Structure 1
Amino acid sequence: MSNPKYSIIIPVFNRPDEMREMLESLQNQTIKPFEIVLVEDGSTQKSDFLVDQFNLEINYYYKPNTGPGDSRNFGMGKAKGNYFLFFDSDCVLPEDYFKNLDMVIDLTNPDAFGGPDTAHSSFSNVQKAINYAMTSFFTTGGIRGGKKQLDKYQPRSFNMGLKREVYEAVGGFSDIHPGEDPDLSFRIIKAGYKVSLIREAVVFHKRRIDFGKFMKQVYKFGVVRVILNRWYPDTRKLVYFLPTFFLVGVLGLVLWSVKISVYGLVPLLVYTALIFIDALRNNSLSVALLAVPASLIQLLAYGFGFLKSQFQLNLLGKAERMAFPSFFFDKK
């Protein structure tokens, strides 16, 4: 394939098993107008042995560990397609993904785009519960990949695409992680390009496999949101403060129950009951039960990260890289 329509760019770090599943889903596509640029980001558990196991055009590259954003930039420098597509290595595509994408792209011709993510029936109960926590009305307002949006749609790199010319005009991903994808989306929107949500282009996204890893992830999301608000002041929204208000409220209710009356916990119990009932509508009893701690983790960890970042950056006035050096990769 000399001039593919799409170049699929996937950074991978020590996830050969997940990469195999991703490639299997690409092998099963009903149409294949793509090449695959697989960028191994300094892994010790490499995925190179997978290349010859699939009847796909896979271009494999190994490079030092500089983070997913820089690895995607590296991949774009090697890609031949007219569109650059990005997926996380822990995603799986339904077999009609490219059929649906092609139909909408040819009809609407967006400059950049993204699609929603959801849980596959084969995912673990914890993964399904985490998916609920990340998409529920009771935790995020249902805005992630849905019809409701806080502002102009901002594609995320687990399921994101853009024209080659957009990359050439605005550049690639920055060295922050997480947060490199909304940063790029903000720059694309600011440059005046047409950005679209393609609801038909759904991916199955595993996210984190346990609550501990999920807690670390959403904590980082909270920290990064304050950094992005500093970089792009016009993107500040009151809703981003809500998890911090929730955190403070929960602490207040717990203190009230200890010092004054146990009935202080009633509002929290009502809220968790609503989560359980809502999750039970489309999930098993086990997933609904797990959705309660997953939702609390999502809100409390994000709220703590947001509060900590506000304190470090806006109260103490520290620079981002000084306050949170581990959130920035050094390019090698």
Structure 2
Amino acid sequence: MLSIILPIFNMEEHLNQCVYSILNQTYKDYELILVDDGSIDKSAQMCDEYAEQDNRVIVIHKENGGLSDARNTGVKVAKGEYIFFIDSDDFLDDNQALEKIVNRLKNSKADVLNFGFKKYYANEDKGYNYFKIDKNMPIEYYKHEKGFEFLIQNSLYIASAWNKVVKRELFEKNNLSFKKGIYSEDIDWCARLLIVAKKFDFINESFYCYRQREGSISKSISNKNLNDLKDAIVTCYDMSNDLHDSFKNYYLSYVAYQYATFLVCQAKVKLDQENKIYIDQMRKYSFLLKYSNNKKVRILYILNRLLGYKNLCRIMRIFYGVK
């Protein structure tokens, strides 16, 4: 059985599309845990109505504590063998999505199953596949480090909880709770997941639609966003100290991509005394860029080597039109 966890905060506009994309799945053996995180719109009432319609729906009403707290609350009551997080403004565009997930897990018995997704634009009513790959992970990669290598070499392991299905026992045995009160919570969580999971898998199915919204957390960048991102990268790097060399190099490729994300984010905020400190603090971690085989990250690595960190940051600010 799957446990699908849906954190919800003031999402009445998109909630029906999200929930019914789950309830209308061909695969039926799951529980849908709706965590109402202190909504003040109609979301809380809608959750109760879903539960009245379908006995697979479990509703938890709680005080607002943020996305991480809502996810953690859902995990505590989950009973399924695997956990699947879905954000409440996203949805599944294939009613066989869960069936494909379960069938794949029956074969691979992976700790973590990764899958593709689309960036969905409501104004176009269209989604665009994010990953550029045309195959699943080969079967012979299931039971050893090759699986992780496949993910990293093809840039398939991203800092996102919602494009993964994770064995529930990993949460119980490894303290895989999400850190509360921070942005970029998925970066640190996905890094810890990399370290504790033993079997990885990937299916080239992009049934998850990641809604692109103006004003969402991922679209608006503040000094707190930048500071939390900085702290997450440093935490991830510190966790690499005890890893053996062959695994460590691939792990640091994941961290390098997050470092590149920091460079992009710093270029999108207006400079002030506070964020200048964060940017300067990250200078000493610029060596991380060398670990990535991602083409865009490699370009940043080359520019950093040729021009230096300070000039790289300036060029990026010019590119994004922020002074």
Aligned partner (choices 185, 193, 200) of residue 195 of structure 1: 200
**Equivalent residue runs for 1:1-332 within 5 Å:** 5-50=1-46, 51-53=48-50, 54-55=53-54, 57-93=56-92, 94-120=94-120, 123-125=122-124, 135=130, 149=153, 153-154=157-158, 156-171=160-175, 172-200=177-205, 202-208=207-213, 210=214, 215-217=219-221, 223-233=227-237, 234=240, 235=252, 240=258, 242=260, 300-301=267-268, 309-311=278-280
**Contact kept? 1:156, 1:181, Cα under 8 Å:** yes
- TM score, norm. by length of structure 1: 0.62
Name stretches of at least 5 consecutive residues in structure 1 with no aligned partner: 138-145, 248-297, 316-332
Quick one: percent identity of the two aligned structures? 23
- TM score, norm. by length of structure 2: 0.63
Q: 1:215 to 1:76 in 2, by over 3 A?
A: closer
Shift of 1:83: 1.2
Residue 280 of structure 1 corresponds to: none
Name stretches of at least 5 consecutive residues in structure 2 with no aligned partner: 133-149, 241-251, 285-323
Letter in 1 for 2:268: A
Letter in 1 for 2:178: F
**Contact kept? 1:220, 1:302, Cα under 8 Å:** no
Tell me how far apart the structure 2 counterparts of residues 87 and 36 of structure 1 sit (CA, whole Å): 10
Shift of 1:41: 0.8
Shift of 1:75: 0.8
Shift of 1:149: 4.7
User: Residue 232 of structure 1: SS of its match in structure 2?
Assistant: helix
Shift of 1:63: 0.7
**Contact kept? 2:72, 2:178, Cα under 8 Å:** yes
Name whichever structure is richer in strand by fraction.
2
Letter in 2 for 1:311: D
Query: Pairwise CA RMSD of aligned residues?
Result: 3.7
Tell me how far apart the structure 2 counterparts of residues 213 and 181 of structure 1 sit (CA, whole Å): 13
Tell me how far apart the structure 2 counterparts of residues 150 and 99 of structure 1 sit (CA, whole Å): 25
User: Residue 268 of structure 2: SS of its match in structure 1?
Assistant: helix
Tell me how far apart the structure 2 counterparts of residues 216 and 174 of structure 1 sit (CA, whole Å): 20
Q: 1:136 to 1:165 in 2, by over 3 A?
A: closer
Tell me how far apart the structure 1 counterparts of residues 131 and 111 of structure 2 sit (CA, whole Å): 29
Shift of 1:108: 0.8
**Contact kept? 1:111, 1:195, Cα under 8 Å:** yes
